[in-house]
Amino acid sequence: MSINSGSSKPRPLFLNHFSNLEAPRRTTKGNFLHSMDDLLFLVLSGVLCGADDWETIILFGNNQIDWLKKYGGYKNGIPCSDTLKKVFSAIDPVQFNSCFMDWISGICTLADKEVIAIDGKTIKRTKEDKLPHIVSAFACENGLTLGQVKINDKSNEITAIPELLKLLDINGTTVTIVAMGCQRDIAKEIIAKDAAYILAIKGNQKTLEQDILDTILLESTNETHTEDDIGHGRIERRTCSVYTKLSHIEDQKKWIGIKTIATIQTEVTNKTTGKISEEQRIYISSLPPDAKNINNSVRKHWSVENNLHWTLDVLFGEDKSRKRRGNVAENYNIVMKTVLALLVKEKTLKKSKKKKEY
């Protein structure tokens, strides 16, 4: 059964994007008291207003029942926590993610050359034998998650990333991925989607890494760009150098689309102690030798950590959550990303995401 409102009232337009989500319950037999529309709208509204577990969602529902009835049926009142647990445990997360992506595509317009950061996050404190690991595609300029894939082993990001890429419309964007995703098949898939890539290298491709180090040692840079960032008690200087001489790379033709090698030298000065730390990171890219663009794109990649993963933990308490039955952890992750998108798209209130909840 698809979502239905159980009411003659107009359904919220938001829920139209979830109309293909199959109800995981028998609706023709048994004690069927609450429509899927009502359950989904209750949970999303509760989390949007700061509820972080089933009990506080129900408390929100009972306090706001008159408001909720303006948009749904709720003819049998607010469901109990066991109902919410059972339903969100049984919902097919692949279908739920598909509905989420359909909704996101309607509210998110990707800018030309927008950075799409692909990265994974493990959901902790579950009782699964293998902790669920969610690989997300994050549109950095928009601040929105475009979609996700769940795996049960971080090493399987290598197979999960192509699966996620196939779901996305990333034409004209730049995809950034950390070292785990530096794979020939992934580079090929990104180029096939008419996008560009910047792939980090760190121990996972030892031959390629050595070839790049040889290039840095033997060849001259085509272009460099340096930018400074001052804040949080430190001064950070990032210098990007790009190289177009690729003759030292073994099997170069197997890296579809490769045009440049890039290094980013980071120097961080602690303003209190004066201590300086340095780090060098290396990348391959299908972008032309524009050091400023590559430097900025790599910096933007880390917004997936600061604006998505950190927010899921700090704002929504994901790693402290005890939601662990069936598909609950993955489905609730989609709920949080839906709510996060609503908070990001709310521009009338010039407040933090946390204050927007209230």
- CATH number for the domain spanning 207: value is 3.90.350.10
Q: How many domains does the chain fold into? A: 2
Read off the tokens for 262.
């890039």
In a domain, 2, yes or no: yes
Contact 305, 37 (CB under 8 A): no
Strand order through the sheet with 196-201: 144-151, 133-139, 115-122, 174-177, 196-201, 276-285, 260-270, 234-243, 223-231
**Angle made by CA atoms 140, 141, 144, in degrees to the nearest 5:** 60
Domain co-membership, 188 together with 304: yes
* Gap between the Cα atoms of 195 and 191, Å rounded: 5
User: Position 55: which residue type?
Assistant: E
Domain co-membership, 44 together with 73: yes
Domain co-membership, 234 together with 166: yes
In a domain, 314, yes or no: no
Run of H or E residues at 151: strand 144-151
**pTM exceeds 0.85 for this model:** yes
Domain co-membership, 65 together with 23: yes
pLDDT given at position 156:
79
Domain co-membership, 65 together with 121: no
Domain co-membership, 77 together with 110: no
Domain co-membership, 77 together with 102: no
Domain co-membership, 139 together with 85: no
Contact 5, 13 (CB under 8 A): no
Domain co-membership, 86 together with 111: no
Domain co-membership, 193 together with 296: yes
In a domain, 192, yes or no: yes
Q: How many CB atoms lie within 10 A of CB 245?
A: 14
Residue at which a domain ends, from 67, 91, 115:
91
Contacts of 135 (CB under 8 A, 6+ apart): 118, 119, 120, 148, 149, 150, 151, 157, 160, 161, 164
Domain co-membership, 256 together with 107: yes
Residue at which a domain ends, from 309, 332, 353:
309
Q: How many CB atoms lie within 10 A of CB 46?
A: 26
CA torsion, points 353, 150, 136, 322, in degrees to nearest 10? 20
Domain co-membership, 77 together with 174: no
Q: What is the extent of the structural domain holding 36?
A: 1-91
User: Position 24: which residue type?
Assistant: P
pLDDT given at position 62:
95
* Per-run averaged pLDDT (10 residues), the chain, 358 residues: 47 74 64 83 93 93 94 90 91 93 91 93 68 90 94 76 94 92 94 97 89 94 94 89 95 94 94 90 96 96 91 81 77 92 83 66
**Angle made by CA atoms 146, 150, 152, in degrees to the nearest 5:** 155
Residue at which a domain ends, from 75, 91, 107:
91
